[in-house]
Chain A
Amino acid sequence: MRVRLPRPATLGPLLALAVACVFFATQSDRFWTGENLSLVLQQVMVVGVLAIGQTLIILTAGVDLSCGTIMALGGIVMTKFAADIGLPASAAIAAGIAVTTLLGAVNGVLVSRINLPPFIVTLGTLNIAFALTQLYSHAQTVTELPSAMTSLGGTFRLGGTSVVYGVVLMLALYGFTWFALRETAAGRHVYAVGNNPEASRLTGIATQRVLFGVYALAGVLYGIAALLSVARTGVGDPNAGQTDNLDAITAVVIGGTSLFGGRGAILGSLVGALIVGVFRNGLTLMGVSSVYQILITGILVILAVGTDQLSRRGAVA
C-alpha cells in the first residue's frame, strides 16, 4: 500500500498545529518536553474521544450538542454504581456505557426515524441528560472509587516520559475509526449519507440504519469518554462535560470536517483537539491571560471553516 500524504482536509490543521508548536517552543523552553507534551495529551483525551463520536455525526450533516452532558451522566452512573451500590468496577463501567449508548440511541431514533433536525433533538437530550445527572447525583461529586475504575489514569514509561493509559486508548480508538471510515463499506456509507442522502437512498444504502448507527455508536464513545474523565480526575463529577459539548464540536470543525456533511477526516478531529489543548497549555506557560485563549479559539474556528470553504471553491470546476 502506497503511503499517501494527508489529504488537504487534514493538511491545513496539521500545519497549524506544527506552527503553534514551533511558536510555543520558542516562547518557553518547558513546552517541547516529553513531560509537557504527555500532559497535553492527557488534557485532551476526554474531548478527543468525544470528538470521534461528534465527527461521525457531523459527517452525516448532523450535530450533537449533548455529547458532554451525556458523558457526565454516564460518569455519575458508573461511579455511583460502584461507590454507592457496590457493584464491581467492570459492571459499573458497563452500566455507565449502557446509559450513554441508550441516550445516543434515542438521539438516533429521533433523527433517523422521526426525521427531527439533529440540532433540536440533541438540544433536548442535552437538557434531559443534565437534569438526570443533577437529580441522580444531588449535585455532589462521587468519591471513594474502586481503584480498578481509575486504572486508565495510570501511567507507564515510554522513553523517559510517563504516558497515561487512557491516552493510548484514545489513540487506538482514533486508529480503529480511521480504518473503518476508510476501508469498510459502512464507513464509506457514512460519507455518502452526509454528502447526498437522496443518492444514498436511491443506490440502496440503508440510510436510516446509517444515521441511527452513528448516533448510537457515538453514545458508546461518550461512555468511554466518561470512563477516561473518571480515570483522570478520580471522581464522578456531575459538572463534567458542560463546556465539552462545544469543545468537541470545535475540535471537529478546526480539524477540517465540514458541518454540511460528507467531507472530513477523523484524524483531523484529533489534530483539532490537540490544537486547542496546545494553545491552552502554551499560553499558560507564556503567562498570557486566559481571555486570549478564548479569543484565539474563536479565531481558529473561523479560520478553519473559512479555509475549508475557500479550498473547496478552488477545487470545484
Chain B
Amino acid sequence: MGAARLTLIAALAAVFAAPARAQQPIIGLITKTESNPFFVKMKEGALAAAQHDGVRLLTAAGANDGDNVGQVTAMENMIAAGAKVILITVNDSKAIVPAIRKARAKGILVIALDSPPDPVDAVDALFATDNYEAGSLIGSYARAALGGKPAKIATLDLFPGHPVGAQRHNGFLKGLGLPAPPKSSNELGRPPQVVCMADSYGNQSKGQAGMENCLQKDPDINLVYTINEPTAAGAFKALKAAGKEKGVVIVSVDGGCQGIRDIASGAIAATAQQYPLKMAALGVDAGAAFVKTGKRPTGYINTGVTLIAAKPAAGVDSKDVKTGMSLCFGKRD
C-alpha cells in the first residue's frame, strides 16, 4: 500500500512538474560555428546563465564562419518553438538583417553578441568586444615593444570583407600610430610599413603558409599581426623554421587558454583578451529580464578587452599571464 501510494505521488509530481518546466521562457542562442572554442565557451556561459535565471536555452550555429542561411533557418525554427529572445553572433552582418527585422516585428527581442550587424541598430542591443579597440591595444603594445625601430609588418588576416577581420586589422594600425581606415570600414588598410598581407582563414595551417610566403617576400619582417591565436601559432612555426623567432614580435587577439600558454612560452608577445562568457551571460540576463519585466536593453555594451603580455611594454597598461590564464576560455589544464 505504501509503495503504491508513493508511486502515485511521484507520478503526480512529475505530471505537475512538467508543465512548470514547459512554462519556462525560451531564449535562443545562435553562434557562428561549432568549431571555434570561443563560441563553445559562449554557449557554456549562456547555459549556465540560463539555468541561474530560470530560462530555457535553445542553441544552434552556422555550418561555418560566414554561413548566413544556417543562421536564418535556426532563427526561424527557434521562433516557431516559442523563443521570445534571440541572441546571435552574426556570420554575415548585412545578410542577416532582414531576418532580424522580421523577428523584431513579431516582438522578439534580438541581441547581437560579439559581431555587430550592419546597420548596427537593426538589433535591440549589441554586447560585444570592440574589435577595433582590441586591435588598437595590441598595436600600441607593438609600438612600444619595437622601441622606435622602423616597423616592417606582415598581417595575417581572416579573409576579404569580414568586419571583425577589418576592425582588428585597422585598429592595430591605428594603435601603431599609422594611418588607418575608420572603425566602420570593411577594407584592410595598407600603409607602406605593411610589406606583406596574407589570408589565414583563422586557421593554423594557412597562417603558417602565409607567414612562409611573407618571409620569402621580405626576410626582414619584424612585426606580425595575426587575426587570432591559431594563426599566430602557425606564424610562429614558420618563423622558427626560418630561424627568425627571436627577432620578430607576434601579436594576436582572442585570449583563449592555448593562446595565453603561447604567450607564456614566448611564441606570442601580446594578445587582446575577449570575454565570450561575459557576453553570453549578459545576453541571457538581459533576455530573462525582458521576458519577466518587458524591459528592452538598448545600445552597445562593451564587454571589455584586456591586453595580456608576458613582458610589459613601456607606457602601455597590460596584465600578466597569470591573470590571462584565470580569465581565458578553452581547456585550462
Are any A and B Cβ atoms less than 8 Å apart in their complex? yes
Write out the residue numbers on chain A whose beta carbons fall within 8 Å of the beta carbon of B208.
Answer: 232-233
> B169 to nearest A CB, angstroms?
13
Write out the residue numbers on chain A whose beta carbons fall within 8 Å of the beta carbon of B193.
Answer: none
**A239 and B331: CB pair below 8 A?**
no
Q: Per-residue 0/1 for B284-312: is the Cβ within 8 Å of any A Cβ (1 yes, 0 no)? A: 00000000000000000000000000000
> B184 to nearest A CB, angstroms?
20
- Count B interface residues, CB 8 Å: 36
Write out the residue numbers on chain A whose beta carbons fall within 8 Å of the beta carbon of B199.
Answer: 290, 293
Judge if B90 is at the interface, Cβ distance under 8 Å.
Answer: no
- Count A interface residues, CB 8 Å: 38
Once the chains are docked, how many angstroms separate the CA of A138 from the CA of B36? 9
Once the chains are docked, how many angstroms separate the CA of A289 from the CA of B258? 30
Q: Per-residue 0/1 for A280-291: is the Cβ within 8 Å of any B Cβ (1 yes, 0 no)? A: 110011010111
Of A42, A46, A140, A233, the residue contacting B37 (CB under 8 A) is: A140
Residue of B nearest to A135 (CB): B34
B42-67 residues at the A interface, CB under 8 angstroms? 64
Evaluate whether A139 and B159 lie within 8 angstroms (CB atoms) in the complex, with A235-B233, A240-B205, A280-B213 already known.
no
Evaluate whether A239 and B203 lie within 8 angstroms (CB atoms) in the complex, with A284-B198, A290-B198 already known.
yes
Q: Max chain A CB contacts within 10 Å: which of B209, B234, B331?
A: B209
Judge if A177 is at the interface, Cβ distance under 8 Å.
Answer: no
B213-268 residues at the A interface, CB under 8 angstroms? 213-214, 216-217, 230, 233-234, 237, 258, 261
Judge if B96 is at the interface, Cβ distance under 8 Å.
Answer: no
> B253 to nearest A CB, angstroms?
17
Judge if A308 is at the interface, Cβ distance under 8 Å.
Answer: no
Once the chains are docked, how many angstroms separate the CA of A46 from the CA of B196? 24
Residue of B nearest to A238 (CB): B35
Residue of A nearest to B200 (CB): A290
**A134 and B34: CB pair below 8 A?**
yes
Judge if A229 is at the interface, Cβ distance under 8 Å.
Answer: yes
Once the chains are docked, how many angstroms separate the CA of A281 from the CA of B34? 31
Of A43, A287, A289, the residue contacting B209 (CB under 8 A) is: A43
In addition to A39-B216, A139-B40, 13 A-B residue pairs with Cβ atoms within 8 Å of each other are A39-B213, A43-B213, A140-B331, A141-B230, A143-B261, A243-B203, A280-B213, A281-B213, A284-B196, A284-B210, A285-B217, A289-B197, A293-B199
Interface CB pairs A-B, < 8 A, 29: A33-B216, A36-B216, A39-B212, A39-B213, A43-B212, A43-B213, A131-B34, A138-B37, A139-B34, A140-B330, A140-B331, A143-B258, A229-B205, A233-B208, A233-B233, A235-B233, A237-B204, A239-B36, A239-B203, A239-B204, A240-B204, A243-B206, A281-B216, A284-B198, A284-B210, A287-B217, A290-B157, A290-B197, A293-B199
Shortest Cβ-Cβ A-B pairs, 5 listed = A284-B213, A290-B199, A43-B209, A139-B37, A291-B160
